[in-house]
Amino acid sequence: MTTSHEIAIVSGASTGMGAATARELARRGLHVLAGVRREQDGDAIRAAGIEPVILDITEPDQIAALAARIGDRPLRALVNNAGVAVNAPVETLPMTEWRRLFEVNLFGHIAMTQALLPALLRARGRIVNISSVGGRIAMPAYGAYAGSKFAFEAVSDALRRELAPHGVQVVVVEPGGVRTEMNERGAATAGRLAADMTGEQRSRYGDLMRAVVSHADAFTRAGRTADFAAQVIARAATVRNPRTRYTIGRDAALMTRLARILPDRALDRLTAANLRPHFPRPAV
């Protein structure tokens, strides 16, 4: 690993925002350790300034190996980007899925932060946590995903206040719709989970799940590109005086603002109105 460039780590860099962020940070002169799950993903992203590393953030041994790879070098930036999307009603989502989602979207990032904090302290570096508009407002069938992101936002706030006296800054990035492969994977997972519902559950939530998948697809297709998102994330990681939070896309900026100012019942009506056009039309 080169010693002539500052080092950044990006988890979840196989595709989408993570891969685009790795490329953008390398373009800005950092040596990027890009966390990927498979060797072929590493081959696809390998380039000048980008060194793929096999990294599953739910595997302690892989996190420890990455920390050992850094050794006593300073770490300029840690971008906690890895994540999974799961959509299902609270009643129907198996506890194994709840735990898996929180392991990836929350606990894995905490484990990464704990392991790499010594290197970040040496560099007075920066932690960039990729949350979501779902970290500020929870749509129906987003209970598990939004719950993990709400928790990630809270952990980020605590961490920012803990590390500020020691020179390490913590920034949260909240994407709205971004055109990545995550939506397709999430839709496939939602279909699988819907198929496992009981007949009674399908009568309660079947139309809702179809509306949620349709809404997510439209939301994503109208969203920003991964390259645009990467520019926001890279700026959050490198600008001299970052804000505590950045949004990606006008949808995220609007929804996070409304979540701060509207009463709960008004937000309930707003989310219902957003979903209504996506419900199946009654048979004539």
Spatial contact of 86 and 186, defined as CB atoms under 8 Å apart: yes
* 246 a catalytic residue: no
Q: What stretch of H or E contains 172?
A: strand 169-175
Coil vs helix vs strand at 212:
helix
DSSP letter at 47?
B
Listed in sequence order, the residues at least 6 apart from 224 whose beta carbon sits closer than 8 Å to its beta carbon are 175, 176, 177, 178, 179, 248, 249
Largest CA distance in the chain: 69
Torsion region of 205: left, alpha or beta (phi above 0 gives left; psi -120 to 50 gives alpha):
alpha
Spatial contact of 176 and 249, defined as CB atoms under 8 Å apart: yes
Show which residues are catalytic: 145
